[in-house]
Amino acid sequence: MSLQQDAENRSGNQCELCTSKNNLSIYEVKPTSTVGGSGFDGSLLACENCRNQIDGLSDMDVNHWRCLNDAMWSEFRAVKVVVWRMLSRLRNEGWPKDLLEMLYLEDDDLRFAKESGDHLDESEKIIHRDANGVILEAGDSVVLIKDLKVKGSSLVAKQGTAVRRISLDHENAKFIEGKVGPTQIVIITDYVKKIAEKE
């Protein structure tokens, strides 16, 4: 059974956020590596309207998100994480703040939810940029633009090495983390270039 079919069965063939039955597809909650890889636990079934607003492709319709009053009680991790992120983004509207106070997430889920930075004010957000000034986000892929010696080991990460599904250091704009081979390393953003996603 495909991921889409699993999600349709789980959700009753409706958006797991707003219950719409139109233009449904899988939405992967980034960074997928934090969830233990992509797949059923790191994805939800969402309508085009919800997906576009989450990703900033269309204007935020605050009233649309009143649906989170119901979605917040989902038993599924990916749904709860997205609900928390959207309520955090909308918290200045008043009512989302009340829902946030009622929403319970396990510690691991809360850490994962916070990786998007949606709970921070714009002035508090640390922006990570690659060597060309392109903004990096959790879950992006980058390529090394010079050989890097890995501290505390004999490993040298070679120029041209792709590092997939990076995570961000939320205290230092110059640091990202990712795997080079089996080793998880910290990389300075000055030495990477973002890899454009293929359409």
**Cβ pair 68, 83 in contact under 8 A:** yes
| Domains contained in the chain, number | 2
User: Quick one: angle between helices 107-114 and 77-89, nearest 10?
Assistant: 50
Looking at residue 197, what is its pLDDT? 67
Q: Which domain range does residue 168 map to?
A: 126-194
- Are 82 and 169 found together in one domain? no
Q: What is the mean pLDDT of the chain?
A: 85
Residue 108 and residue 72 share a domain? yes
Non-local CB neighbours of 43 within 8 Å, separated by 6+ positions:
3, 7, 26, 27, 28, 29, 78
pLDDT of residue 120: 61
Cis peptide before 182 (omega within 30 of 0): no
- Would you say residue 34 lies in a domain? yes
Question: What's the pLDDT at 3?
Answer: 80
pLDDT score at 150: 81
Same domain, 102 and 131: no
Shared domain for 26 and 104, answered yes or no, is yes
Q: What residues have CB less than 8 Å from 161, skipping those under 6 apart?
A: 143, 144, 180
Residue 34's pLDDT band, with cuts at 50, 70 and 90, is: very low
| 100 neighbors 84 (Cβ within 8 angstroms) | yes
More confident residue, 8 or 116: 8
pLDDT at 127: 82
HSE-up of residue 112 (Cα within 13 Å, Cβ side) = 24
Judge whether residue 35 has pLDDT over 50: no
Buried b (16+ CB within 10 A) or exposed e, 48-83: ebbbebbeeeeeeeeeebebbeebbebebbbbbbbb
CATH number of the domain enclosing 152: 2.30.30.40
- Residue 5 identity (one-letter amino acid): Q
137 and 103 together in one domain: no
- The tokens for 37 are 């890889």
Count of residues in the chain: 199
Percent of all residues in the chain with a pLDDT value above 70, rounded to a whole number:
88
pLDDT tens digits along 102-160: 999 999 889 888 877 666 665 556 788 899 989 898 888 999 999 988 877 788 889 99
